[in-house]
């Protein structure tokens, strides 16, 4: 085998990030590396678009010393785990990766992949693995959808085969995997709600009829950049946030009127103005066109204000289960000092507040701290204290400056990249009895946990929460205790 070859493989296992694994005879491999350097046994091929039980033809994309990467180009025989995808855009869209995989099997594979990462990558064996928490909803579970405008439309195969003239310079939808300058134009998505789809199509129709152009990442001209829809799970609040490259108050007023005429359920409309060249769905500033500019949602018994640019867990029901898992692991009795690092808008801090003596929360993003302070007032959480701190250098000087009491428990919820070693060292110096680590990336989570274990902590148990059905993304909660 060599790069570009089409070969037939039997998929045996499921790999991290949703790829199938096939084992091959290394004697068959030809590459620039040279046969003598390739292991004779356990040479594996990671295959995009394949599941255990599939027999597939694949195109080899990369040949490495210990593994190869490939993409499925034909399914010869289907795995019994496969099911029919609900969405007509599945396979082209970058949203759902596993909609054609039976959901109970998705959950099983996700639990397995976390176990393997902790066992093989971390070398951990003596710890408890609790049952994964599946999602109650597998469709319409998101409270936020972010759509992109583009002057370059990605054509699906059916559109190409039809030979019908398709407008190529206007698209509103989702990105195609690995393609950053084109957008797949869609008219429905099963991740948020039917109302979300209605807003999507009305928005597209309104601006196309007025010949308003999408922003071009190449020429940096054009007006339309993003459409972000946020909805509340526990109330009827519904926000439309239209992100543009400049201000046009009269156009926004007209757009707002058209939306409200057809969808009176919308409670607020916001226009974010992004004048930067970077493709981000946040503005340099915003104008509230209709309503308050906020929506409200609840996690457990706590209410949170959500602005156009504030972070809030995108699966509300599962967020409550995630936070409850962290709270259960902490086993708080009401007398503990708790530190919450990477605290964002204060959702975890406030969720655990009634079970804690005092909560000290640290966050690097100032706007998130402002949102947290507002949420503190809404929930009358007087024992929670928020601080802006650099969690990429050292937050210990701030602790010392403010003369904060040492923590009994530390809760961590860092970004996908994990923690900076400086922050890890600061926590070790603080010497808490327990550390609860919440992560959306078990690989970086394991890397960081090993640092704590090497400094006197023991991994006690983990529990995985499936926040995002039909994707390979998960959240994992780990408990460490001081030995």
Which residues are annotated as catalytic? 440
Which strands form 434-439's sheet, in the order they lie side by side? 128-129, 457-465, 475-482, 434-439, 409-412, 337-341, 358-363, 384-388
CA distance 140 to 129: 29
Instruction: Say if residues 133 and 321 touch (Cβ distance below 8 Å).
Output: yes
DSSP per position, 85-106 = -S-TTTTTSSS-S-TTB-HHHH
CA distance 449 to 460: 11
Residue 401: half-sphere exposure toward Cβ, Cα within 13 Å: 7
The H-or-E segment that residue 350 falls in is: helix 347-351
Q: What angle do CA 476, 356, 404 make, to 5 degrees?
A: 100
Closest C-alpha among 380, 229, 191, 244 to residue 306: 229
The set of residues, in sequence order, having a beta carbon less than 8 Å from that of 299 and lying 6+ positions away, is: 313, 316, 319, 320, 323, 347, 351
C-alpha torsion sign, points 407, 413, 418, 420: negative
CA distance 56 to 102: 19
C-alpha torsion sign, points 149, 311, 391, 328: negative
CA distance 96 to 175: 11
C-alpha distances in angstroms, 402 versus 232, 385, 405?
37, 11, 9
The tokens describing 355, both together, are: 């079970």
The tokens describing 223, both together, are: 């007006």
The tokens describing 282, both together, are: 């946040």
Closest C-alpha among 246, 181, 261 to residue 212: 246
> Under DSSP, is residue 134 helix (H, G, I), strand (E, B) or coil?
coil
The phi-psi region of residue 267 (left if phi > 0; otherwise alpha if psi is between -120 and 50; otherwise beta) is alpha
Question: What are the backbone dihedrals phi and psi of residue 407, each rounded to the nearest 5 degrees, phi first?
Answer: -80, 145
Instruction: Say if residues 283 and 293 touch (Cβ distance below 8 Å).
Output: no
CA distance 405 to 400: 9
H helix runs in 9-102, sequence order: none
């Amino acid at each position: 085998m060599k790069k570009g070859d089409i070969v037939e493989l039997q998929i045996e296992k499921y790999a991290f990030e949703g790829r199938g694994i096939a084992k091959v005879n290394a004697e068959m491999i030809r590459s620039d590396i040279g046969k003598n350097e390739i292991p004779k046994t356990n040479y594996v091929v990671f295959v995009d678009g394949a599941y255990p039980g599939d027999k597939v033809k694949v195109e080899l994309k990369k040949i490495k010393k210990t593994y190869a990467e490939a993409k499925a180009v034909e399914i010869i025989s289907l795995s019994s785990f496969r099911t029919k995808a609900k969405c007509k855009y599945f396979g082209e869209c970058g949203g759902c990766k596993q909609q054609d995989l039976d959901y109970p099997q998705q959950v099983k594979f996700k639990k397995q992949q976390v176990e393997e990462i902790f066992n093989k990558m971390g070398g951990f064996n003596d710890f408890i693995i609790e049952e994964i928490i599946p999602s109650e909803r597998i469709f319409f579970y998101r409270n936020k959808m972010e759509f992109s405008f583009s002057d370059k439309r990605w054509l699906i195969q059916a559109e190409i085969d039809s030979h019908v003239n398709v407008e190529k310079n206007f698209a509103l939808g989702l990105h195609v995997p690995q393609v950053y300058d084109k957008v797949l134009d869609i008219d429905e998505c099963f991740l948020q709600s039917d109302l979300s789809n209605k807003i999507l199509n009305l928005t597209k129709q309104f601006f196309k009829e007025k010949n308003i152009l999408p922003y071009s990442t190449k020429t940096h001209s054009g007006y339309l950049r993003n459409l972000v829809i946020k909805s509340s799970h526990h109330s009827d609040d519904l926000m439309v946030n239209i992100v543009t490259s400049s201000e046009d108050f009269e156009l926004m007023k007209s757009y707002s009127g058209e939306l409200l005429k057809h969808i009176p359920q919308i409670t607020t409309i916001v226009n974010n103005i992004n004048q930067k060249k970077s493709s981000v769905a946040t503005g340099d500033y915003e104008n509230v066109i209709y309503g308050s500019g906020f929506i409200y949602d609840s996690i457990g018994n706590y209410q949170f204000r959500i602005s156009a640019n504030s972070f809030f867990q995108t699966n509300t029901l599962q967020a409550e289960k995630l936070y409850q898992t962290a709270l259960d692991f902490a086993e708080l009795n009401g007398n503990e000092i708790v530190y919450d690092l990477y605290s964002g808008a204060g959702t975890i801090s406030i969720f655990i507040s009634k079970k804690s003596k005092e909560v000290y929360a640290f966050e690097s993003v100032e706007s998130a701290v402002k949102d947290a302070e507002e949420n503190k007032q809404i929930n009358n959480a007087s024992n929670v204290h928020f601080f802006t701190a650099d969690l990429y250098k050292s937050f210990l000087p701030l602790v010392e400056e403010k003369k904060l009491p040492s923590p009994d428990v530390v809760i961590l919820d860092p970004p996908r990249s994990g923690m900076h070693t400086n922050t890890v060292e600061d926590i070790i110096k603080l010497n808490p009895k327990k550390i609860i680590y919440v992560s959306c990336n078990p690989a970086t989570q394991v890397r960081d946990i090993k640092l704590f274990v090497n400094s006197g902590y023991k991994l006690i148990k983990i529990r995985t929460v499936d926040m995002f059905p039909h994707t390979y993304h998960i959240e994992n909660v780990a408990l460490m205790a001081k030995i």
